[in-house]
Structure 1
């Protein structure tokens, strides 16, 4: 009996540590439930319709943290990439709380395959971005997780030009208003019925 106990104790030891080998060739899939209720679908449709409206240049999506603003914007982004309306000129940048102009300019330039690393002056960087955007007939730029007002012109975004569409997500309706969003959509928590359907 003592031998059996000793053998079981030996089997329970992990001399190399407790971990599993991970096959690096497999791309992990993160399964996240995607809202698909009536309100979510209606918001997607409203945003897509607004993006086709020549009078709407910027759209704000706001609501408390965790209600699905980013998920909603991501759904719109993915749908736009499947359409030919914007000729594939649909860009996504996460801004976050630690926002600064140079970083945002660099992130956008990277998406546009534009090298502005040798340029230190924010005004010159903005001019280069502006010229690059001007080459496009139409484009959509989605700025996710915006915490405070961003001056699109200082960044280099030609926000007053036909064909330029700006979508922002923020926790604050005031941020959306300060950025002159023509269409503002509030994302609410799911209703009890929608939550039970998820």
Structure 2
């Protein structure tokens, strides 16, 4: 009994011994109706090949609604995770529903498992996000972008190991979203 009591007293010295891993995004899990066409497989491989090049950090895909941009984004996500090409891979579907840069930023920090105070201003969260991803290789996938995103304000500029993959319906938007 004495040994057990000593062990119980030592246990209180540690507030935690591990961190919970971020839960995989359910929206990026393949649906039963998904068919792996040869053209789609080669396109995913081409995108992944470009994303891992050191001089490429942003890729955009644009096209009409319903042609498979979201499916492509999900496949790039799955392949990047499966092949363990990045330390962190984040996918946010339907970015158009987020409405502003701050909501996108909060979603990214949440998906990265960051414990960021909601009362922090956007600039402080951007600095925390940059600090979180600066030492690793991170892929952020933003699907269905309709308006310009200020990547610097979000915290995704100035981080050399952060790659972006974006999908949109148009190459150029009124507010200067352009894929290069």
TM-score (norm 1): 0.67
Q: 2:140–2:164: 8 Å Cα contact kept in structure 1?
A: yes
CA distance 1:72–1:123, change in 2 (3 Å):
same
> Distance between the aligned counterparts of 2:30 and 2:84, measured in 1?
28
Aligned to 1:69: 69
- Give 1:149-188 correspondences, 5 Å limit: 149-158=148-157, 160-175=158-173, 178=176, 181-182=179-180
Residue range with higher mean Cα deviation, 31-40 or 59-68 = 31-40
* Alignment coverage as a number of residue pairs: 149
Aligned to 1:122: 122
Q: Which has the higher contact order (CA 8 A, sep 6+)?
A: 1
- Once the two structures are TM-superposed, the CA of residue 139 in structure 1 deviates from its matched residue by 1.0
> Distance between the aligned counterparts of 1:115 and 1:97, measured in 2?
23
CA distance 1:152–1:43, change in 2 (3 Å):
same
Compute the RMSD of aligned alpha carbons. Answer: 2.3
2:107 pairs with 1:111? no
Aligned to 2:33: 33
Tell which structure's C-alpha radius of gyration is larger: 1
- Once the two structures are TM-superposed, the CA of residue 130 in structure 1 deviates from its matched residue by 1.5
- Once the two structures are TM-superposed, the CA of residue 144 in structure 1 deviates from its matched residue by 1.1
Deviations 1:8-39 (A, max 9, x none): xxxxxxxxxxxxxxxxxxxxx99553243333
TM-score (norm 2): 0.73
CA distance 1:131–1:42, change in 2 (3 Å):
same
Question: SS of 2:132's equivalent?
Answer: helix
- Once the two structures are TM-superposed, the CA of residue 46 in structure 1 deviates from its matched residue by 1.4
- Once the two structures are TM-superposed, the CA of residue 119 in structure 1 deviates from its matched residue by 2.9
Gaps of 5+ in 1: 1-28, 183-198
Question: SS of 1:61's equivalent?
Answer: strand
